[in-house]
Amino acid sequence: MAALAHRSRSKRRTMNEINMVPFIDVMLVLLIIFMVTAPLISTSVIDVPSVGKAANAPDQVIRVELRADHRIFIRSLDTPNSSAVKQATSAKAQDLNTEFEEVSKSSLADKALQFQNGNGNTPVVIFGDKALAYEEVIKVLDLLQKAGVQRVGLSVQLMND
């Protein structure tokens, strides 16, 4: 009787192998799908600006200020050297009210182009108040770019460590 029980166990031996054929089939199908769709995906190239000192400061900078009360001010700074730019950007807005010209959003692009005097390389720097909605700053940026202003940048204040 013990011999019969031993014989039935040997016939029911479990299979310790994994069938790899379905796994390989699935992997080959996925490989083909990725190979076909990869050229169709459009890769966007982002030109990220680098941080550092410029070799030489621009001759003129157009400063656009967006205040928290949604008023827009513009000013053209003639900068024969970079120290003038640093002084103008570090000065408080209250001290510069007499030098800035208040403009409406519709006339901002025309005024910026007027300050550029046909020189498309004159940079326009947008100073947006921290309390202002990000959308308002982007709308002004888009407005300037649609008007043909080529060099538009955003100013930020560096955090002190």
Q: What is the pLDDT of residue 92?
A: 44
Residue 41, in any domain of the structure = no
The percent of residues above 90 in pLDDT, for the chain, comes to 10
Residue 136, in any domain of the structure = yes
Q: How many domains does the chain fold into?
A: 1
Residue 10, in any domain of the structure = no
Tens of pLDDT, residue by residue over 106-132, are: 888 888 888 888 777 788 888 888 888
Residue 73, in any domain of the structure = yes
Tens of pLDDT, residue by residue over 64-95, are: 888 888 888 888 876 555 444 445 444 444 44
Q: Is 43 helix (H, G, I), strand (E, B) or coil?
A: coil
Tell me: pLDDT of 1 over 60: no
Lowest mean pLDDT among 30-39, 41-50, 90-99: 90-99
Convert 65-132 into a string of H (helix), E (strand) and C (coil).
EECCCCCEEEEEEECCCHHHHHHHHHCCCCCCCCCCEEECHHHHHHHHHHHHCCCCCCCEEEEECCCC
Q: Is residue 73 a contact partner of residue 67, using CB atoms and an 8 Å limit?
A: yes
Q: Is 154 helix (H, G, I), strand (E, B) or coil?
A: strand
The percent helix, strand, coil of the chain (3-state, each to 5) is 40, 15, 45
CATH number of the domain at 143, please: 3.30.420.270
Helix axes 105-116, 134-146, angle to 10 degrees: 50
Helices (H) and strands (E) in the chain, counts: 5, 5
Residue 87, in any domain of the structure = yes
Tell me: pLDDT of 103 over 90: no
Q: What is the pLDDT of residue 79?
A: 58
Residue 53, in any domain of the structure = no
What number of other Cβ atoms are within 10 A of residue 126's Cβ?
19
State which of 39-48, 81-90, 91-100, 134-143 shows the largest mean pLDDT.
134-143
Q: Which domain holds residue 140?
A: 60-154
Report if pTM > 0.75.
Answer: no
Sheet-wide strand order for 124-128: 101-103, 72-78, 60-66, 124-128, 152-154
Q: Is 49 helix (H, G, I), strand (E, B) or coil?
A: coil
Residue 82, in any domain of the structure = yes
Residue 4, in any domain of the structure = no
Q: Which of 66, 91, 69, 87 is nearest to 78 (CA)?
A: 87
